[in-house]
Amino acid sequence: MDNILEKMKEKYPTFSKGQKLIASYIIDHYDQATFMTAARLGEKVGVSESTVVRFANEMGFDGYPKLQKALREVVKSKLTSTQRLEVSSAHIDSESVLKTVLQSDLNKIRITLEEADPDNFDAIVEEILKARKIYILGVRSSAPLASFLGFYFNLIFENVRLVHTTSVSEMFEQIINATEGDVVIGISFPRYSKRTSKAMEFARSQGATVIAITDNDNSPLAKCSNYCLFARSDMASFVDSLVAPLSVINALIVAIGLKRKKQIRDNLEKLEKIWDAYQVYDKGDVQTELAND
């Protein structure tokens, strides 16, 4: 969907007096309006609740909740970290932060599951399995997700490159050889990384298969990808909630692992010997006791 605020500005001259009041308030205070009920918004601007509902219909939405959903997408992509902190502080009870945040994350996983496309997921698994080389892109708050995926893919595949970068030029330098037969996986959630989307555009122009892990089909990553895996993300505060994306990535790793079970077993057996030899993991008092028996 096109930016709802821009659409609102375009339609503004056609609105009734009451609708203009609503539109003006939303355009100027979308960060607050997105959390208001129809009744509260109407009260704020001096119109009836039914006028607010009709306004939503006039904007092409089947009810006010659909308009709210569109506004939330705007909030996720437009607010600065400071604004996000201010908005969330007004809607999270400091006495129940743990419960509120965990419940929110549970809801995002539930919605992600309900909206998941198993056929699309399976197609992505097959594309990755047949890839000659795999590149993984993820910066800023998505960097831990990319690292997690890269860590486990390195146990499965021989040619995995986790793209570490602090600049646009460095990212391009690391994917310059991505071409037909290769897979480039880009991960980004609001606020979207322009570096990642630009790099994915480049990789696709080179003939690589591009896979986006993002939140919806309006994401700039989705628009330049061959395949998309969607996971719900939101802001609990200035912090990005990436629980659902991590769960989807976990599912992707497991699905591929089941297809490459023998190879993973062989790699893990080799690694266990190395880990033991170099004491990578602390096996605790049990191993000490066994050694002394």
Q: Single out the residue of 185, 179, 255, 219 nearest to residue 76, CA to CA.
A: 219
Mean pLDDT of 62-80: 77
Same domain, 135 and 60: no
Q: Which of 78, 98, 131 is the last residue of a domain?
A: 78
Please check whether residues 65 and 153 belong to one and the same domain: no
Residue whose C-alpha is closest to residue 207's, from 136, 143, 133, 145: 133
pLDDT of residue 186: 96
Looking at the 3D structure of the chain, how many domains does it have? Answer: 2
Per-residue confidence (pLDDT) for residue 90, from 0 to 100? 53
Domain match, 63 and 149 both:
no
For residue 159, give the CATH number of its domain.
Answer: 3.40.50.10490
Of 78, 102, 132, which residue sits at a domain end? 78
Q: Say what the pTM is.
A: 0.71
Domain extent for 51: 4-78
- Residue 91 CA to residue 85 CA, distance in Å, equals 10
Whether 94 is in a domain gets the answer no
Residue 150 maps to a domain? yes
> Are 247 and 168 contained in the same domain?
yes
Q: Where does the pLDDT of residue 290 fall: very low under 50, low under 70, confident under 90, or very high at 90 and above?
A: very low
Interval 144-176: pLDDT, tens: 999 999 999 999 998 999 997 766 778 888 999
End-of-domain residue from the set 78, 105, 140: 78
Average pLDDT value for residue range 208-215:
96
- The pLDDT value recorded for residue 216 is 86
Q: Lowest mean pLDDT of 32-36, 122-126, 234-238, 247-251, name the range.
A: 234-238
What is the domain-level CATH number for residue 22?
1.10.10.10
Amino acid at position 1, single letter: M
CA dihedral sign, ordered 6, 9, 10, 14: positive
What residue type is assigned to position 234 of the chain?
A: D
Do residues 145 and 246 both lie within one domain? yes
Residue 20: what pLDDT? 92
Examine the domain organization and report whether 58 and 180 are in the same domain: no
